[in-house]
Structure 1
Amino acid sequence: MQTPLKWGRAQYEHPGKFWGTGNRCGHDPAKGEFERYCQPQKKGRLPATLQALVEGAREYYKRPALLPMLANLNGKSNADGNPRCNRSEARAAESLVLSAIIQFTEFSSLRVGTPLDDGGFKHRSCAEIARVAGLLAPGSTPENPEPSQRFWRAFRRLKLAGAFTVHLQYEVKADGSKRARPAVKLLNQDFLLALGRVGFQKFKEFQRWCYNQLKKARRKYREQFPTQHDAAEARRRLALEANGPKALYKQRRGKKDLPDANSEKELQRRYNREATAYFAEIVTNNPGASYAEVNKLVRIKYPPYDEWLDRQRRH
């Protein structure tokens, strides 16, 4: 009988084949963890553009150069001068979370959620995203899903890398207390284009197609349920009238991004968003260029974060 492996004084619970890899949580660097992913049920096949973006998010696990601002989030370099890549466990979680977010995105507006035929919108919570990503906390139940700490780490890294913006929202109850609602998450177009799977023109065509599909569905709803539609519109107008012109102004102004509580992290997020936009621009305009060539061009304008920060402070 084989002697069980030990982690300190406790028995090591994961298969011995991963012992000595530096990933003693059961993660196999060569394989990834896509068996965790729970594909959301959709009618028919996924649109080709959506499928390509999901595949790009998965490919990032094997090819971190696809998203250098995420893979090299700390901006550090190896001894040979090349950007230091993040660990495979972290990259696996980022790939899973990004895939789930892409699946839940309404592409005509890039909001993470599901548009409703009656004109409303259901924002997807982090618990729902974690369920699809397969990163729920131990002990979670279908009635009370709870994202794992690993999910939150990946979610924060993606936000810091400029993958999306977040705006918290709440509703005021009758007794004056506040009840949290799922945050508004807006996906960054440049982050998706940087995957190199869909060009700018094709992406815009897909957005127009999504908009037209939504427009048809809502027109059909108005024709089938005119009373409910008119009642919903009346409630929206009454809400605007009750809250005065300020409510209308805020509605037109749109959702404000939630800055990071750490000012240094917020500055790093600004750097990543700008660098990602520039990276996506080069990828789009130079479809034949390798990612090594693209990264070299990006580094001219956006050197590693510490160098960029020193440059900003000098100016």
Structure 2
Amino acid sequence: MDSAQHAPACGLMWGRSAYKHPGKWLGTGNRCGHDPAKGEFERYQAPETKRELPKVMQKLLDAISDYYHSPEILPTLSNLNGKANADGDPRSNRSEGRAAECLVLSAIVTHTDFASLRVGTPTRDGGFIPRSCGELAKVAGLLAPNSDPERPEPSQRFWRAFRRLKLAGAFTVHRQYETRPDGSKRARPAIKAVSFHFLVALGKVGYDALKKFRTWCSNRLKKQRAKHREQFPEQNDAQQARHKLATKQAGDTGITAHFTKQRRGPRDIPDVDVEKERQRQYSREVNDYFAQVVANNPGASTAEVRALVRIKYPPYEVWRDSQ
């Protein structure tokens, strides 16, 4: 059958054949629905909360939105390719990629425990529930097609953005696992620790404000855990008693009792690509140096700080070739 019989109403052709996939998003970006002027913030599914988000968190989310429209805010992320335009300015990443980065970073910020800067939820009994990438992808609106809502699976677009954020020094990742009674190991969601300097580099929250917020979160968590111990003294006492018994047993008999626990793997998982790993280390150095410049120049604007940082740390490829 002649494909022309299936030509769309607009008459769009692909060579000599009718273009069969004009779809809902004809005329946008690469026909995926992305509008460079707006971004894709409607994908983001903010978690329901009883109260409004703290001002510091809201400012960070606003800063992420600003990054989409002004990528020069985060050169370690927007200029990962290390290339420059004809006028010498760093070449920014594509808006489709930047939109995904904003969505993933927004999901991470809203699920960060600022007392420890780990991505997850601390529990009142002293535990911690790390958030999996599937859960973050669900909030970011970047799930794989036909993903099971009960077991969300990130899309490849999520993983690309996640890796770019890691290369930019936004967070570190290390695996963890638990050992089963039969000796086998079961993987647990990896621990993701957000960079303090990266959050400040977004330009909306300074070091002092972020430190105060972290202290407030830490004190609030301590009060919740103290209250939990008062409400459930048996649980806390039982845990202490078990460890005391194990200590006495080891001293009396030499037998060491092992408690079931989650074990962490390497503190920070390096990138499998040697060049990308070097670039990630460069990004972390840039973020750390950014902090030093801010501390040494308290009256400098964000733009002035970035200009000073650029003197020591030019775009990655220029810096790499100079080493």
TM-score, structure 2 as length reference: 0.86
Aligned to 2:280: 269
Query: Which residue identity does 2:25 align to in structure 1?
Result: P
- For residues 79 and 242 of structure 2, the distance between their equivalents in structure 1, rounded to whole angstroms, comes to 48
Query: Which residue identity does 1:173 align to in structure 2?
Result: R
Query: Which residue identity does 1:16 align to in structure 2?
Result: L
- For residues 242 and 322 of structure 2, the distance between their equivalents in structure 1, rounded to whole angstroms, comes to 52
Q: Which runs of 5+ in 1 are unaligned?
A: none
Partners of 1:58 and 1:96 within 8 A in 2: no
Partners of 1:275 and 1:298 within 8 A in 2: yes
Number of matched pairs: 302
- For residues 258 and 139 of structure 2, the distance between their equivalents in structure 1, rounded to whole angstroms, comes to 38
- For residues 102 and 36 of structure 2, the distance between their equivalents in structure 1, rounded to whole angstroms, comes to 13
Q: Deviations over 1:169-213 (max 9, x none)?
A: 111122222111000110000000001111111111001000000
Are the structure 2 counterparts of residues 287 and 311 from structure 1 closer, same or farther at C-alpha, using a change threshold of 3 Å? same
Find 2:123's aligned residue among 116, 122, 141.
116
Report the 3-state secondary structure (helix = DSSP H, G, I; strand = E; otherwise coil) of the residue aligned with 2:181.
coil
The answer to whether residue 242 in structure 2 is matched with residue 242 in structure 1 is: no
Report the 3-state secondary structure (helix = DSSP H, G, I; strand = E; otherwise coil) of the residue aligned with 2:205.
coil
Report the 3-state secondary structure (helix = DSSP H, G, I; strand = E; otherwise coil) of the residue aligned with 1:10.
coil
Are the structure 2 counterparts of residues 283 and 138 from structure 1 closer, same or farther at C-alpha, using a change threshold of 3 Å? farther
Q: Identify which range, 146-155 or 133-142, moves more after superposition.
A: 133-142
Partners of 1:268 and 1:305 within 8 A in 2: yes
Q: Deviations over 1:6-50 (max 9, x none)?
A: 5674322233342xxx43222000011000000012221111111
- For residues 241 and 195 of structure 2, the distance between their equivalents in structure 1, rounded to whole angstroms, comes to 33
Aligned to 1:260: 271
Partners of 1:279 and 1:294 within 8 A in 2: yes
Are the structure 2 counterparts of residues 309 and 233 from structure 1 closer, same or farther at C-alpha, using a change threshold of 3 Å? farther
Q: Identify which range, 281-290 or 125-134, moves more after superposition.
A: 281-290
Query: What percent identity do the matched residue pairs reach?
Result: 59
Query: Which residue identity does 1:11 align to in structure 2?
Result: H
TM-score, structure 1 as length reference: 0.88
Q: Aligned Cα RMSD in Å?
A: 2.5
Partners of 2:173 and 2:192 within 8 A in 1: yes
- For residues 93 and 6 of structure 1, the distance between their equivalents in structure 2, rounded to whole angstroms, comes to 30
Q: Which runs of 5+ in 2 are unaligned?
A: 1-7, 251-255
Matches within 5 A, 1:95-244: 95-234=102-241, 242-243=257-258
Are the structure 2 counterparts of residues 72 and 183 from structure 1 closer, same or farther at C-alpha, using a change threshold of 3 Å? same
Report the 3-state secondary structure (helix = DSSP H, G, I; strand = E; otherwise coil) of the residue aligned with 2:103.
helix
- For residues 12 and 171 of structure 1, the distance between their equivalents in structure 2, rounded to whole angstroms, comes to 49
Cα deviation for residue 304 of structure 1 reads: 1.7
Are the structure 2 counterparts of residues 221 and 295 from structure 1 closer, same or farther at C-alpha, using a change threshold of 3 Å? same
- For residues 158 and 306 of structure 1, the distance between their equivalents in structure 2, rounded to whole angstroms, comes to 18
Report the 3-state secondary structure (helix = DSSP H, G, I; strand = E; otherwise coil) of the residue aligned with 1:3.
coil
Partners of 2:25 and 2:31 within 8 A in 1: no
Aligned to 2:55: 48
- For residues 141 and 235 of structure 2, the distance between their equivalents in structure 1, rounded to whole angstroms, comes to 37
Select the structure of larger CA radius of gyration.
2
Query: Which residue identity does 1:76 align to in structure 2?
Result: K
Report the 3-state secondary structure (helix = DSSP H, G, I; strand = E; otherwise coil) of the residue aligned with 1:242.
coil
Q: Identify which range, 274-283 or 302-311, moves more after superposition.
A: 274-283
Aligned to 1:28: 35
The answer to whether residue 313 in structure 2 is matched with residue 302 in structure 1 is: yes
Q: Identify which range, 274-283 or 128-137, moves more after superposition.
A: 274-283
Report the 3-state secondary structure (helix = DSSP H, G, I; strand = E; otherwise coil) of the residue aligned with 1:75.
coil
Q: Deviations over 1:111-153 (max 9, x none)?
A: 1100000000000000011011110011012112100000000
Partners of 2:203 and 2:302 within 8 A in 1: no
Q: Identify which range, 229-238 or 301-310, moves more after superposition.
A: 229-238
Partners of 1:163 and 1:188 within 8 A in 2: yes
Q: Deviations over 1:222-280 (max 9, x none)?
A: 00011122334456775995359xx9xx99xx971111122221111110111122234
The answer to whether residue 17 in structure 2 is matched with residue 10 in structure 1 is: no
Query: Which residue identity does 1:297 align to in structure 2?
Result: L
